[in-house]
Structure 1
Amino acid sequence: MDGVEVRASDPSAESAGPGEVRGRALAERLGVPYAETYEELFDWGPDAVVVASENARHRPLVELAAKHGVDVLCEKPLATTVADGEAMVAACREAGVRLGVAYPVRFSPAYAALRRAVRGGGTGRVLTVAGANNGRIPSGDRAWFTDPELAGGGALMDHTVHIADLLDDLFDGAHATEVYAQTNNVMYAGEVDADTAGLVTVRYDNGAVATIDCSWSQPAHHPVWGGLELQLVGERATVEMDAFGQNVTGFDERSRSPVQLPWGTDLDSALLRAFLFPETAAGPGEGSGAGPVPGGGADGADEAIRVADGEAGLRSLRIALAGYASARTGRPVPLR
């Protein structure tokens, strides 16, 4: 990005799993300078940091950034426990720094259109939402995603939070009140210890009920990012969105490899620009993704889409953790 200088640091790179490229080797592959220690990195004086460690290791890095007075964008989910998430939010609040959570799907033009339809009144009151976030099981250099200790779970933790965050933004103040979930590992029994499939039902205090298919159900030769889709039923209309519809996908059976040719908005770029340059703005669907995306329309529909903050990250985390509690007990779990 123009106007952005990047440095990387990963002192614990020796803990990398088989096939995982980290530390100086990854920095060299990316073509960015490397700092051997976090102290060296913060002595450089960054304006912001991106935390992309394993989920269970987010907290100490976010707190370190807060200690140095630096804004921080943390990968999702915010943490693997509510206690860690709350501590991270508190540390950043006390330090007066911004804490963002990396939910790039907020910046999808498809989501912006759905948001306009709901907030502009076109759908009427939302009755139900059926969401699906599917992909292939993480493997190779992403295998830590299947380690429940490092990831905080499996497919439910990995995929539920994306849709939970979209609904958190869409409903604008409505809160989840109850979560019911079932999980299993039918597809990869004996290969990994984590759940690889799940279905989560969430009730909200605005009367809406949402279901989230959060499975690693795509074959191994499918593109890494399987897709994220929503079907929303309102009193007046039904609307659907495909967050990754702006690409051509397929399979090469000869090489058993995926084919993915994106042509639409780069959601990661849009997220990063909105975090780094919050004072700028871009219209929905603009390829630059240069900042908060206006929703357009009436009755608050034109409010800008912004990077999820720490409190939003906590709300989506609570839904995922309640899902695991429900799956263990077989009963709905209330959320305060």
Structure 2
Amino acid sequence: MKIGIMSFAHVHAAGYARLLAGIPGAEVVAADPGEHSDDEVRGAMLAAEAGVYYLDDYDDLFTWGPDAVIITSENARHRADVERAAAAGAHILCEKPLATSWEDGLAIRDVVARAGVICMLAHPVRFSSAFARLQAQHRAGALGEIVAIRGANNGMLPTERAWFTDPQLAGGGALVDHIVHLADLIDALTGATPRRVTATSNRTLYPDRPVESTALTLIEYDDGMIAALDSSWSVPQKAPAWGGLRMSVLGTAGTVDVDVFGSAARGVSSDGMAVEARYGADLDAAMLGCFLEAVRTGVQPKPDVETGLRTLSVVLAAQESARTGQAVDVGNLLSP
């Protein structure tokens, strides 16, 4: 199978490249066009470190004829890259969020439908065993009716790539970066549709950055369930791990707490610094395996574009609420 990687902009791109390079029968080629900062390891240098072949531009990449592509470009460039890949008939795994505007999200939905290609969203957390157990418990009726969810997806400020704090290229800050993972898990667990969103955010932790570094969001769903989500870049740069994702799910028959990245050996180094070594299955590997199996079989996997649109609707409504200080009805925001 021939797999292309479009851009090394996203911090996950190098990890995907290394995993793909180790898959028997996979031919992997990356292209990372454009000018790059001297402070960022990208382009041919990063491809060499990841062990994949490199081409200078997308024209050469698509002349090579990939069966599938991984889109790891800046958020605002997802639409153009999806359109390019779909026109070539390549199946697509697109980094989250789907887009930075509702117009671009709908355009992505339409172009992949017309091209008849698979488009999957990169939400690896839903492939964790902890979340799978939560889903199984819910399907078995152990929770009863879910009435409330509290979630936190906190992390460090992404300093490896400057565009993460560029409001145009990223579409926002911490709210955009992390809320989509939580919204995706709620979507996969409950299937409920977001109805109204109230959010607040600020730049207090990193006032020199032009985007929010902390964000709290309250979501009301169509079935009456509510979710309170913290998606802040609140983990210190010197912390022993990048961050984590936790959820507490309250049902009429019980409550379950989930710590997706909680499996770790923790201690203190000889110089008194906290250390943490996490263990467990590689969620990126599980996600890539799901995508490649879908490419082989032609069966659309989850999360799909419709899932991506629902999580994008939460992001856009939260941004509008944080801007105006008012609750936002999701349907009204997205209607023509």
Shorter-chain TM-score above 0.5:
yes
Provide the residue aligned with 1:269 in structure 2. Answer: 285
In structure 2, distance between residues paired with 1:274 and 1:319: 25
- For normalisation by structure 2, the TM-score amounts to 0.87
- For normalisation by structure 1, the TM-score amounts to 0.87
Q: Which consecutive unaligned segments of at least 5 residues does structure 2 have? A: 1-22, 332-336
Shift of the alpha carbon at 1:142? 2.2
Query: Structure 1 or 2: larger helix share?
Result: 2
Provide the residue aligned with 2:40 in structure 1. Answer: 20
1:74-113 per-position Cα deviation (integer Å, ceiling 9, x unaligned): 1001111111111111111100001111000010100001
Provide the residue aligned with 1:289 in structure 2. Answer: none
Q: Which consecutive unaligned segments of at least 5 residues does structure 1 have? A: 282-291, 293-304
- Give the 3 Å change call, closer, same or farther, for CA 114–313 of structure 1 in structure 2: same
Q: 1:110 aligns with which of 130, 138, 151?
A: 130
In structure 1, distance between residues paired with 2:150 and 2:275: 27
Provide the residue aligned with 1:329 in structure 2. Answer: 324
Q: 1:101 aligns with which of 121, 125, 135?
A: 121
In structure 2, distance between residues paired with 1:181 and 1:116: 31
In structure 2, distance between residues paired with 1:54 and 1:28: 21
Moved more, 124-133 or 222-231: 222-231
1:151-190 alignment, distance < 5 Å: 151-172=170-191, 174-189=192-207
- Give the 3 Å change call, closer, same or farther, for CA 6–205 of structure 1 in structure 2: same
Q: 2:165 aligns with which of 134, 146, 151?
A: 146
Maintained 8 Å contact 1:274/1:280: no
Provide the residue aligned with 2:304 in structure 1. Answer: 309
Provide the residue aligned with 2:28 in structure 1. Answer: 6
Shift of the alpha carbon at 1:210? 0.2
SS at match of 2:294: coil
- Give the 3 Å change call, closer, same or farther, for CA 142–277 of structure 1 in structure 2: same
1:245 and 2:267 aligned: no
Provide the residue aligned with 1:213 in structure 2. Answer: 230
In structure 1, distance between residues paired with 2:269 and 2:30: 35
1:319 and 2:336 aligned: no
Q: 1:80 aligns with which of 70, 91, 100?
A: 100
In structure 1, distance between residues paired with 2:239 and 2:72: 24
In structure 2, distance between residues paired with 1:315 and 1:253: 47
- Give the 3 Å change call, closer, same or farther, for CA 49–145 of structure 1 in structure 2: same
In structure 1, distance between residues paired with 2:282 and 2:152: 20
The size of the alignment, in residue pairs, is 308
